[in-house]
Homo-oligomer: A and B are copies of this chain.
Amino acid sequence: MTLRTQPGQMLARGVCRHLTELGFVSIEEFVPCRGLRVDVMALGPKGELWVIECKSSRADFMSDSKWQGYLEWSDRFFWAVDADFPTELLPDETGLILADAWGAELIRSGHESRLAPARRKAMVQKFATHAARRLQALRDPEFIFSV
Contacts and interface: CB of A to CB of B under 8 A. Distances in A.
A115 interface: no
Nearest to A27: B132
Interface stretch (A56-64, A70-78, A87-95, A138-146): A138-146
Copies in the assembly, this chain? 2
A128 B138 contact: no
Interface of A: 1-2, 13, 16-17, 20-21, 25-28, 43, 45, 47, 121, 124-125, 127-129, 131-136, 138-140, 143, 145, 147
Contact of A21 (B17, B45, B145): B145
A8 to B, nearest CB: 15
Nearest to A47: B125
